[in-house]
């Protein structure tokens, strides 16, 4: 960008991680609304916190209240939502934090962008694969009912596509797994890095 210069700091991300005694990474939870992303993100954050790790949840719905409050649900806005959120995750990783992202992020190309921003080595794609019929039954926010009534346009799983991850690091179906069990799977997967 012309007339804007990068001012380099003197503390490397590795030094910050060393200070915190952990490796930074982003666990990226993707799946339908109601699949259990936010529930699992908070449960995992709690477990990592209890284990002495410094973790932080970035929740798609929460970020839409503030940082991304100007964005809607068109393909363009969804992509911008993911871009900004991934940039925040990257900064938090640079600060040494373990970041847990809960975003529907329905498009492969958008998730690929997030992977590129965050860096493939730090990006742990986790597909919360709970079937649509189960998510609709749960309908924790009443959104499926509204989508079926035609009150919400472009609702993922109903009137907008969800592209299943092709090579996720982990798949968690919360129809089959309790929150405890899903967290145990996540922690087992993360153990070599984080615990
Ligand atoms: P998302 O963030 O994917 O939209 P939420 O976590 O907000 O999903 O909602 C998932 C809902 O499903 C919550 O009401 C949660 O209590 C419920 N639920 C039932 N069983 C599970 C499970 N095994 N794992 C996660 N959530 C579950």
Per residue in 106-159, pLDDT tens?
Answer: 999 999 999 999 999 999 999 999 999 999 999 999 999 999 999 999 999 999
Residue 16 lies in a domain: no
Residue 139 lies in a domain: yes
Residue 19 lies in a domain: no
Structurally, the chain folds into a number of domains equal to 1
Residue 45 lies in a domain: yes
Single out the residue of 28, 38, 27 nearest to residue 135, CA to CA: 38
Q: Ligand 1 centre and the CA of 34: distance in Å?
A: 5
Residue 158 lies in a domain: yes
**Bridge-partner residues for 123, per DSSP?**
26
> Which residues lie closer than 8 Å to 27 by C-beta, 6 or more apart?
41, 44, 98, 99, 100, 101, 124, 126, 186, 190
Radius of gyration of the chain (CA): 17
Ligand 1 pocket test, pick from 30, 31, 39 with the greatest ligand atom count within 8 Å of Cβ, gives 39
The domain that holds 172 is classified in CATH as: 3.40.50.300
Residue 112 lies in a domain: yes
Catalytic residues: 105
Residue 7 lies in a domain: no
Tell me, what's the pLDDT at 171?
Answer: 98
Single out the residue of 78, 125, 72 nearest to residue 101, CA to CA: 125
Per residue in 28-63, pLDDT tens?
Answer: 999 999 999 999 999 999 999 999 999 999 999 999
Single out the residue of 105, 190, 121 nearest to residue 156, CA to CA: 105
Per residue in 166-188, pLDDT tens?
Answer: 999 999 999 999 999 999 999 99
Tell me, what's the pLDDT at 195?
Answer: 60
Q: What is the mean pLDDT of residues 3-19?
A: 95
Single out the residue of 138, 189, 186, 181 nearest to residue 35, CA to CA: 138
Residue 22 lies in a domain: no
Q: Tell me the residue range of the domain where 138 lies.
A: 27-194
Least confident among 24-28, 90-94, 187-191: 187-191
Q: In the chain, pLDDT over 70 holds for what percent of residues?
A: 99
Q: Is the pTM of this model over 0.85?
A: yes
Q: Ligand 1 centre and the CA of 10: distance in Å?
A: 42
- For residue 135, CA distances in Å to 24, 86, 113, 146, 174 come to 31, 25, 26, 14, 10
Confidence of residue 191 (pLDDT cuts 50, 70, 90): confident
- Cα separation, 181 vs 187, in Å, equals 10
């Amino acid at each position: 960008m012309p007339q804007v210069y990068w001012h380099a700091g003197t503390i490397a991300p590795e030094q910050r991680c060393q200070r915190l005694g952990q490796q930074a990474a982003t666990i990226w939870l993707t799946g339908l609304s109601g699949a259990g992303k936010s529930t699992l993100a908070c449960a995992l954050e709690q477990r990592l916190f209890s284990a002495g790790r410094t973790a932080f949840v970035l929740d798609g719905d929460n970020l839409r209240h503030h940082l991304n409050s100007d964005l809607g649900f068109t393909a363009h806005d969804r992509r911008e939502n993911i871009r900004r959120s991934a940039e925040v995750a990257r900064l938090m990783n640079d600060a040494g934090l373990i970041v847990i992202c809960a975003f529907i992020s329905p498009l492969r190309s958008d998730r690929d962008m997030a992977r590129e921003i965050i860096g493939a080595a730090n990006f742990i794609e986790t597909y919360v694969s709970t079937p649509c019929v189960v998510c609709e039954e749960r309908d924790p926010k009443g959104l499926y009912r509204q989508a079926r009534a035609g009150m919400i346009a472009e609702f993922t799983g109903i009137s907008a596509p969800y592209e299943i991850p092709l090579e996720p690091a982990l798949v968690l179906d919360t129809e089959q797994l309790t929150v405890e069990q899903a967290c145990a799977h996540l922690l087992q997967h993360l153990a070599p890095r984080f615990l």
